[in-house]
Amino acid sequence: MPGNTFGKLLKITTFGESHGPALGGILDGLPAGIQIDLERIQRELERRRPGQSPLTTARKEADQAALLSGIFEGRTTGTPIGFTIPNADARSGDYSHNEANYRPSHADYTYDAKYGMRDHRGGGRSSARETAARVVGGALARQFLEQLYPQGPMPAVSAYVERVQDIAMPSPPAYHAPERVDAHPVRCPDPETARRMEERILEVKKAGDTVGGTVVVVARHIPAGWGEPVFDKLHADLAKALWSLPAVKGLELGSGFSGTLMRGSDHNDAFTSASGHIRTATNHSGGIQGGISNGEDIVLRIAFKPVATILAEQETVNRAGDAATIAGRGRHDPCVLPRAVPMVEAMVLLVLADHALRQRSARL
Amino acid sequence: MPGNTFGKLLKITTFGESHGPALGGILDGLPAGIQIDLERIQRELERRRPGQSPLTTARKEADQAALLSGIFEGRTTGTPIGFTIPNADARSGDYSHNEANYRPSHADYTYDAKYGMRDHRGGGRSSARETAARVVGGALARQFLEQLYPQGPMPAVSAYVERVQDIAMPSPPAYHAPERVDAHPVRCPDPETARRMEERILEVKKAGDTVGGTVVVVARHIPAGWGEPVFDKLHADLAKALWSLPAVKGLELGSGFSGTLMRGSDHNDAFTSASGHIRTATNHSGGIQGGISNGEDIVLRIAFKPVATILAEQETVNRAGDAATIAGRGRHDPCVLPRAVPMVEAMVLLVLADHALRQRSARL
Amino acid sequence: MPGNTFGKLLKITTFGESHGPALGGILDGLPAGIQIDLERIQRELERRRPGQSPLTTARKEADQAALLSGIFEGRTTGTPIGFTIPNADARSGDYSHNEANYRPSHADYTYDAKYGMRDHRGGGRSSARETAARVVGGALARQFLEQLYPQGPMPAVSAYVERVQDIAMPSPPAYHAPERVDAHPVRCPDPETARRMEERILEVKKAGDTVGGTVVVVARHIPAGWGEPVFDKLHADLAKALWSLPAVKGLELGSGFSGTLMRGSDHNDAFTSASGHIRTATNHSGGIQGGISNGEDIVLRIAFKPVATILAEQETVNRAGDAATIAGRGRHDPCVLPRAVPMVEAMVLLVLADHALRQRSARL
Amino acid sequence: MPGNTFGKLLKITTFGESHGPALGGILDGLPAGIQIDLERIQRELERRRPGQSPLTTARKEADQAALLSGIFEGRTTGTPIGFTIPNADARSGDYSHNEANYRPSHADYTYDAKYGMRDHRGGGRSSARETAARVVGGALARQFLEQLYPQGPMPAVSAYVERVQDIAMPSPPAYHAPERVDAHPVRCPDPETARRMEERILEVKKAGDTVGGTVVVVARHIPAGWGEPVFDKLHADLAKALWSLPAVKGLELGSGFSGTLMRGSDHNDAFTSASGHIRTATNHSGGIQGGISNGEDIVLRIAFKPVATILAEQETVNRAGDAATIAGRGRHDPCVLPRAVPMVEAMVLLVLADHALRQRSARL
């Protein structure tokens, strides 16, 4: 059944395979009257596109989005925004050897098991290329959130690479401005850590291998009150959004796994009050309590596994179940994390914009 | 807007506050013809109910579910199953002191921020008591899954307490039969670890404090092919389901966070073939690839924070934002994990049953 | 798959068979802060309940709703409202003869064809008894709509019996206050027509037969702007709501079928302006243009077929496909229309309340 | 909130304005393995496109659909099918005079009331041009339904113009093969009635006026068992689908309004049995009983109002509420019915395909 739509009041539906003519989507539910800066959408796509640095796959894609509806004279009209992103550099030939053999830890086998067939050119629909459409949606959601409180502090969402394999930032999760994050192509805001991460990625790339790590995303200036108990808790929707990205293996909110080592008396976030604003002294809750935002920074950490496409020869089986060997010959990323940063932001932005709208129905 | 429904083809909607007359729910979408054993539903509620052992809150609830529709002559009819669970031991008086003061790390403040009011008797809707209705739904989903493949290996879902604070099972995550899990009230299948966990919980209880830890849940005999790319990936729906439970702070699938330390060449799960069945040599994927089950065990680890209700006096603020102090006087759990086990199973069962049905539309 | 939920931002889910212990439902999405008058809910149930007059079935049901959650100190809290309505006078014995034989123009055959089984006590889930839960939902929606505009004209929804067989009101569809409608048990606001309708219904009842007719429903003081193009147009959602009621065979909006005889130049509703308010000179549009309310009265006419349960012997077949005869022995309504009035209002109220909330997301 | 998606297991989401660069949509949920004939999709678009005969608007559109995903080597893959249809002949200049003035019985005023703005080039999103995307979806749904029962009688859906103003076919509603329907550009399968309809339409066109009428649609060879009580009854979903089309003012199923003049004893459809097949002697039910298909022809009649765009000068108001006059200068249809035929079929096909999939979850 259909699984290509995300969101309730702000809904994104996407389509497209890695080697078809185009991918794209429809964002439905954005209120009328939002000023849209098309260049900013394109800039977010640039952050995700392949070929942007030696740290990423060599596939060259301009990833130029065409917005086809829903915007009139620079503003949203309340009608759905349809868009397409052409696939320019889709060399299907690279992938023909994959028709029969299942690539380990890819979705080849499971797509066949599910559908009885698959588009075997590249990852088909399971390719991370699909996330380009999400980035367009997230970029539109961001502009909505930024215009939501003309008086107030502007909601902001920023992600960064916190750790590549064992090379980690020395500081705890915090908000880092996108400019600082993008200062280094590895997208870690700590220059020294970034340099070491880059070194590691290039070393691994040379070996035809891959590495994973963690991305941290922080949303700030989110007002208290967003989130819908009991199933659509804000962090439950964030979890679904982030786990829908390729290669995710773990997620933490606030204190995460390490919080389970504490006692309640240490873990509880005491309420304080300063000039009329209710705040918490600590933020083990990660900005969400009882599934509803409490006004503190929303802090999430996501684990991304090492990319499955490697150049070494691997043992596998073919469709018939016979033993086979396979070697990665397509273009691939040695480390998905630098490009995961805009994907993570996009999903968080889509969830927050959805809940901003949902909150409008909370009171008479 | 409404957030009390979970699922697409199998939908559960729940209602009820901790101190109202009853809670309950409606399970809609269960196919006709499933034989229902009502006693097994009740037994799953027993595993969740308060007062079952000295490790849990002293609140006494029979948690007797009344099933009001959708079952005729012992079988489901395809129509919705409505049910209620009365609240018997709801002493609202215990909680009247909470009307004005916000309990730290509870949902008091955020409910007020969202709705402009709240039912301040106990946790109201934010109480973990709400999960009783989920357990009924999960128990029904389990019976559906068990009858799905009359020939085949029976799908099974079992959870257990893996770690309480720093006291952890020595073995990696694996399937442990419910009988072994329930052999000790702490619901850890390793007797020696269980004994030490119990000790710790009682020690902490005596101190008026609380502890958290991790629960592992394993689903086995799930056929390859369940899960709906790209947003309703099987693990994305599992993530949403599990993050919607109270007190969850972290989630891992398969190799989880530790997998991010590996290289791709070590992390990939090689395909093998034995007597016609395609399997993987390792299971870093945790039973899901590209968002679709691959036939291996589905393995998830969930972090539960220490319960927020403690007996010590805590600094906080009241609705007006003035400083106040608060002490837990209600009955509470020193450690939520033993009772979280059936909640975790229920949510996993609901997701799997939903996807079992969704998979029926995958092919012509 | 599940089909027992209606609405997007205000969602009602219902359960229950005609001869089970109870029916009920959950209304989820009502904003916090609405003052709820429980007696008014009960009064709306009285209008629908069987046995209220000689014009209806002799089944005696108090139809006493128990509201179990979501209301605290007289106001909605924003959490779901669960409720049950016990079945008191369910004499299953009356219906045992129906186990094998399919009653003509009932749902017996189609339920068996769909589910491979059915609850053959009475109509089971297909009984109009199911609509009691909708009436509770509609009564809550009405109180929300009434409190929506403290300054403004209060939205109001009223339905009435316009025609029974060929006995019709002489005047065109218009708003008639509920007090006038309820002045006669047939629920036609024109006393002389009501008298003749009653006569006809009693005559038909005596003959063991049944009649149908039309109900008109008018919603007034609905602000311009409600409705969501292109699929969730206000009248599309109203159509789905009304066609989901038992026995509906036709629906008209505004000029309806007779409007198709006119030319565009006569049918168009000219805009006028009086003291700053934009109005239309005529209302062939029935209050909705382009799927969005325009501020004029919303006017719908619904055709209800003659009830299928008759006392005469009828030719039919049994489950095996063999010829059989069947005679209605259960208690039934000679004419469903007087009791359809509150059902129609309930569905219109649920749709309007849903769209009142949906409209909150239309603009930045 | 979003309203541009229709369906549950087969979901279509559409986008696009009459005068933007393109419209299009995404069809999500079609099972894998359906053979797709792209030319047949195009042929269905031809039936809907403007400029196909002197009976329609003079706007010239090739309406060439580009299918961008979800089909591989001639078969569906189970992934979403994205498509675009460029707007070629969009002369916005024609409509600039409409910026300020509200066209009577159009959606100009209500869009402004809803969104606070509108795309005033042509009808924008409210233009019937939007239905082109639905026709693509319906054409895909048709191919799915046709391949559903390789052995069995092939499900078929065919609509036709039954009446234009007072010029009506002499025969009752019945299935007429598409070839017969398309034999005359007015799409009435009775040649003599078609001739008179054409005459009337051309006469009205000459007068700068418009006419409406009725379309009948019949679905045959639909198996018993489709439809989901109690809210997603098959005819409730059909009603929503059809009422979401532009210009619809009435709908009847089976006996419709005229059935309300009968007594139950005449109206009931007696069951009969012939060579093991359960059938009904009459079909007042219109193929649906209790919201579920019974295997008989599904028969619906839809009323379409006269098109609102006329050439005569009309009184209206502008955005400020001041009196104004307006005259239609754009290209328009004197009668929407010939082009409504493929739109009606598309919506019925989408509903039936959706319910074909939903029925797969009815039984264990």
Higher pLDDT, A168 or B309: A168
Residues 6+ apart with CB under 8 A from A291: A227, A228, A229, A230, A232, A233, A234, A235, A236, B107, B110, B126, B244
C119 and B26: CB-CB below 8 Å?
no
B22 and B317 Cβ atoms separated by less than 8 Å: no
Question: For B110-124, B125-139, B318-332, D255-269, which range has the lowest pLDDT when averaged over its residues?
Answer: B318-332
Higher pLDDT, D353 or A333: D353
Residues 6+ apart with CB under 8 A from B338: B53, B55, B56, B161, B185, B186, B187
Structure tokens at B98: 């909470």
Structure tokens at B3: 């957030």
Show residues of chain B in contact with A230, CB under 8 Å.
3-4, 14, 125-126, 130, 244
Show residues of chain D in contact with C359, CB under 8 Å.
114
Helix (H) or strand (E) holding C97: none
Q: Sorting pLDDT into bands at 50, 70 and 90, what band is A330?
A: low
Show residues of chain D in contact with B33, CB under 8 Å.
363-364
Higher pLDDT, A319 or C38: C38
The Cα A294–Cα C183 span in angstroms is: 53
Strands (E) across A96-243 are located at 156-164, 167-168, 213-220
CB atoms within 10 A of CB B153: 10
- The Cα of A111 is separated from the nearest Cα of chain D by a number of Å equal to 9
pLDDT at residue B114 above 80?
A: yes
Residues 6+ apart with CB under 8 A from D283: D254, D269, D296, D297, D299
Write phi, then psi, for C22 (nearest 5 degrees).
Answer: -165, 160
In this complex, which chains have at least 3 CB pairs below 8 Å with chain A? B, C, D
**Nearest chain A Cα to C356, which residue?**
A361
Q: Which segments in chain C show pLDDT lower than 50?
A: none
Q: Sorting pLDDT into bands at 50, 70 and 90, what band is D170?
A: very high
D29 and B361: CB-CB below 8 Å?
yes
Domain ranges of chain A: 5-361
| Domain D5-361 listed as CATH 3.40.50.2300 | no
Show residues of chain C in contact with B23, CB under 8 Å.
68-69, 82
Q: Helix H segments across B147-275?
A: 178-182, 191-206, 234-243, 264-267
**Nearest chain B Cα to A286, which residue?**
B249
pLDDT at D88: 84
pLDDT at B332: 74
Mean pLDDT of A82-103: 78
Structure tokens at B156: 């099974």
D308-361 per-position pLDDT tens digit: 999 888 989 998 889 999 876 666 789 999 999 999 999 999 999 999 999 999
B160 and B216 Cβ atoms separated by less than 8 Å: yes
Please give the ipTM for the structure prediction.
Answer: 0.97
pLDDT at C58: 74
A126 and B290 Cβ atoms separated by less than 8 Å: yes
Q: Give CA B241 to chain center in angstroms.
A: 8
First-to-last C-alpha distance (Å) of chain D: 36
pLDDT at D330: 62
Question: For B44-48, B200-204, D50-54, which range has the lowest pLDDT when averaged over its residues?
Answer: D50-54
Show residues of chain A in contact with D33, CB under 8 Å.
115-117
The Cα D355–Cα D293 span in angstroms is: 10
ω into residue B230 within 30 of 0, thus cis? yes
D255 and D172 Cβ atoms separated by less than 8 Å: no
pLDDT at C28: 98
- The Cα of A180 is separated from the nearest Cα of chain C by a number of Å equal to 30
Write phi, then psi, for B315 (nearest 5 degrees).
Answer: -75, 140
Show residues of chain B in contact with C17, CB under 8 Å.
69-70, 72, 79
Show residues of chain A in contact with D72, CB under 8 Å.
17, 117-119, 124
Give the C-alpha distances (Å, rounded to integers) separating B185 from A148, A157, B162, C54. Answer: 50, 43, 13, 61
Q: Helix H segments across chain D?
A: 38-48, 108-115, 131-146, 178-182, 191-206, 234-243, 264-267, 337-358
Among B14, B26, B85, the strongest candidate for a mutation testing the C interface, having the largest count of C CBs within 10 A, is B26
pTM of the predicted model, to two decimals? 0.98
**Nearest chain D Cα to C225, which residue?**
D114
C255 and D301 Cβ atoms separated by less than 8 Å: no
- The Cα of C285 is separated from the nearest Cα of chain A by a number of Å equal to 23
Entry field: residues in chain A: 364
Task: Point out the residue among D237, D243, D262 whose CB comes nearest to the CB of C235.
Answer: D243
Which 8-state DSSP code applies to residue D37? Answer: -
CA dihedral C30, C36, C39, C43 (to 10 degrees): -40
Question: For A92-101, B160-169, B275-284, D17-26, which range has the lowest pLDDT when averaged over its residues?
Answer: A92-101
Show residues of chain B in contact with C22, CB under 8 Å.
68-69, 82
pLDDT at C97: 61
D15 and A26: CB-CB below 8 Å?
yes
Task: Point out the residue among A144, A147, A361 whose CB comes nearest to the CB of C360.
Answer: A361
pLDDT at C244: 98
B316-338 per-position pLDDT tens digit: 999 888 999 987 666 678 999 99
The Cα B53–Cα B60 span in angstroms is: 11
- The Cα of C71 is separated from the nearest Cα of chain A by a number of Å equal to 14
B166 and A261: CB-CB below 8 Å?
yes
CB atoms within 10 A of CB A170: 7
Q: Helix H segments across A207-336?
A: 234-243, 264-267
Among A14, A23, A110, the strongest candidate for a mutation testing the B interface, having the largest count of B CBs within 10 A, is A110
Residue type, C313: E
Among D304, D187, D188, D290, residue whose Cα is nearest residue D251: D304
pLDDT at B336: 95
Among D267, D350, D361, the strongest candidate for a mutation testing the C interface, having the largest count of C CBs within 10 A, is D267
A335-354 per-position pLDDT tens digit: 999 999 999 999 999 999 99
Among A264, A55, A44, residue whose Cα is nearest residue A139: A44
Structure tokens at D215: 């379309």
pLDDT at residue A262 above 60?
A: yes
Q: What angle do CA D345, D349, D354 make, to 5 degrees?
A: 155
**Chain C residues contacting A via beta carbons under 8 Å:** 9, 29, 31-34, 76, 78-79, 144, 147-148, 229, 357, 360-364
The Cα D153–Cα D129 span in angstroms is: 34
Q: What angle do CA A154, A156, A157 make, to 5 degrees?
A: 170
Structure tokens at D192: 């003599």
**Nearest chain B Cα to D144, which residue?**
B364
- The Cα of A71 is separated from the nearest Cα of chain C by a number of Å equal to 14
Show residues of chain C in contact with A2, CB under 8 Å.
none
In this complex, which chains have at least 3 CB pairs below 8 Å with chain C? A, B, D
pLDDT at residue D11 above 60?
A: yes
CA dihedral A62, A68, A69, A71 (to 10 degrees): 50
Give the C-alpha distances (Å, rounded to integers) separating C185 from C80, C180, C339. Answer: 34, 11, 9
Question: For A123-137, C85-99, C263-277, D265-279, which range has the lowest pLDDT when averaged over its residues?
Answer: C85-99
